[in-house]
Amino acid sequence: MAEKNSEKKELIEKVIRVNRVAKVVKGGRRFSFSALIVVGDGRGQVGLGLGKANEVVEAIRKAVEQASVNMKKINVEGTTIPHMATGRFGSGKVLMKPAAKGHGIIAAGAVRAVMEAAGIMDISVKCLGSRNPNNLVRSTLEGLYNLRSNEWIARARGKDINYINPS
């Protein structure tokens, strides 16, 4: 149990969006909140959570819990991604290109939070289509989860690793 607590402390939690929803009832308006959160370990694992509750703090807690359960490993090569990737979710489309060391994260707010949580420090991202943070984050994660390492590509093609990555 002590290992889980120490592991949770080193997770990076990024709040992407807190949305307030009003329901009109006989006595007035009832407000509820939804929180979109990305959780990562900064070393190539990242997950998304969406929590809904009548209080902001409770919605964030639920989202963090869901995100830490949904964490998946992504292929990271140093501080960038191994190859260009495109992610799609709904009408959101995200184009991700690897960048040289020291380039930084060139991305919009919602996508930047995902990259920081995953530990990717050098990348260029262009958001195409929807600008909805929910669609952007989900399409970014879709693209990141589909990344393949150079070793995996060489093995799948039956080639030597030097053929794929001549450096």
Q: Are 76 and 84 in contact (CB under 8 A)?
A: no
Q: Tell me the three state secondary structure of residue 120.
A: coil
For the segment 72-91, what is each residue's pLDDT rounded down to a tens digit?
999 998 899 999 999 999 99
One domain for residues 64 and 83: no
Burial pattern 29-55, b for ≥16 Cβ within 10 A else e, equals eeeebbbbbbbbbeebbbbbbbbebee
- Say yes or no to pLDDT of 143 above 80: yes
Q: Around 133, how many Cα atoms within 13 Å sit in the side-chain half-sphere? A: 20
Q: Which of 72, 106, 128 is the last residue of a domain?
A: 72
One domain for residues 82 and 145: yes
Q: What CATH number has the domain bearing residue 37?
A: 3.30.160.20
Q: What percent of the chain has pLDDT over 70?
A: 92
- Which range marks the domain in which residue 60 is found? 2-72
One domain for residues 59 and 36: yes
For the segment 5-53, what is each residue's pLDDT rounded down to a tens digit?
555 568 999 999 999 999 999 999 999 999 999 999 999 999 999 999 9
The reported pTM is: 0.86
How confident is residue 4, by pLDDT bands cut at 50, 70 and 90? low
Report the run of H or E that residue 154 belongs to, with start and end. Answer: helix 150-157
Q: Tell me the three state secondary structure of residue 7.
A: helix
